[in-house]
Amino acid sequence: MKETLVIIGSGPAGWTAAIYAARANLNPVVYEGVPKQTPSIQLPGGQLMLTTEVENYPGFPKGVSGPEMMQLFKDQAVRFGTRVETQDIVACDFSKRPFRLTTSDQTVIEAQAVIIATGASANWLGLPNEMRLAQTGGGVSACAVCDGALPIFRNQPVAVVGGGDTAMEEASYLTKFASTVYVIHRRDAFRASKAMQKRILENPKAKVIWDTVVEDVIGQSHLESLILRNVKTGEKSNLPVKGLFVAIGHTPNTHFLRGTGLELDEVGYIRLKDGFRTYTNIDGVFAAGDVSDSIYRQAISAAGMGCKAAIDAERWLGEQGIH
C-alpha cells in the first residue's frame, strides 16, 4: 500500500493536520489507533476523550465535551477527503524512503512523508474509582489548566497529587478558583524548583500534606473525598474534596518509535529541529502536538502544531517533486 502522507494519531494535532493536508490535495490517511488500557485508558481522539467539558477552546462559547469536539474535528477532516484507519502503527522503518510502516494487523504501508501526532498519556494513580470519575466528569482530572476553572471546582476544596514543577504549577493555578488546595506528596520534600515550591509554600490557600499517598477515591457520580495513608505511620484519614488533580507527569506515546533513528529526549518526547517548525531529525518525518510538546499540552497548541506540520509536509513534498 503506497501513500503520500500518513498521519499517526487522532487528537487535535492529527485531525488539524489532516484537514490542512486534505485541502492541499495530499490525500492523507489517518491511523487513529485502537482503544487500549495500558494501564490508563487510551482512546482514539486522545486525552480529550476523557474530558467532559472543554471551555477554553475558541469557537465554543458555551463549551463542548471532549468527545464531541474530537468527532467534529474528525468529521471536518473526512469532509475534505481524509481517509481513516482504526489501526495502530506498531513499527516504523525510516531508514530509506518511502518509509515502511507496519500496522497492528501487520499490513505494511509505504509512505513518502509521515506526521506523528500520537500525543502523550497522563500518568494516573491506578485506582479504579479514579478512572471512572475521570471518564464521567466526576471531579478527577489530569489537567488543572483545562478543567480547574469549571464551576464544580469554584470555591471548593480540591487536591493535587505530585511534587514536581507540574504539580506546583497546577496547584498555583487552582488557588485562583478553589477555596483550599491540598498538595499531597508521598515524600517529605518536593522535587520542584525552589521558586516553584515557594509559590505554594507561601500561598495561604495551599496546604501541603507530606509523606502521604491516595489509597482510594470516594464518590458515586461526583468526587466526595479521598482516603489517604501516611507512608511513615500507616495511619489512614479521610479528606473531603470536590476535585482531584493528578500531576505526576505524562508519558509520550513514542514506544513504537524507539530504535528507528528518530531523535527522542530523555523522557521520550520527539525532538524538533527548531522551536518554530515541526521537522524532526529525519527528512520527511514531522511531529505535532503533545508527542513533541512537554510544556503547553493544550488542545489549541496541539491543533496549531498540526496546522504547521501539514504545511511543512506539503512544502517538503513539493521540494521532492511529490504532489
Model pTM score: 0.87
pLDDT one-digit tens code per residue, 9-18: 999 999 999 9
Residues shown for the chain: 323
Whether 40 has a pLDDT exceeding 60, the answer reads no
124-246 matches 2-121+250-319 in CATH topology: yes
Is 307 a residue of the active site?
no
Per annotation, catalytic residue among 88, 147, 290, 312: 147
Per annotation, catalytic residue among 146, 290, 293, 312: 146
pLDDT one-digit tens code per residue, 54-99: 889 999 999 999 899 999 999 999 999 999 999 999 999 999 999 9
Residue ranges covered by each domain of the chain: 2-121+250-319, 124-246
Confirm or reject CATH 3.50.50.60 for domain 124-246, answering yes or no.
yes
Is 92 a residue of the active site?
no
Looking only at the bridges linking them, the beta strands covering 250-252 and 120-122 are antiparallel
Topology of the domain comprising 2-121+250-319? FAD/NAD(P)-binding domain (3.50.50)
pLDDT one-digit tens code per residue, 133-187: 988 889 999 999 889 999 999 999 999 999 999 999 999 999 999 999 999 999 9
Per annotation, catalytic residue among 143, 290, 293, 312: 143
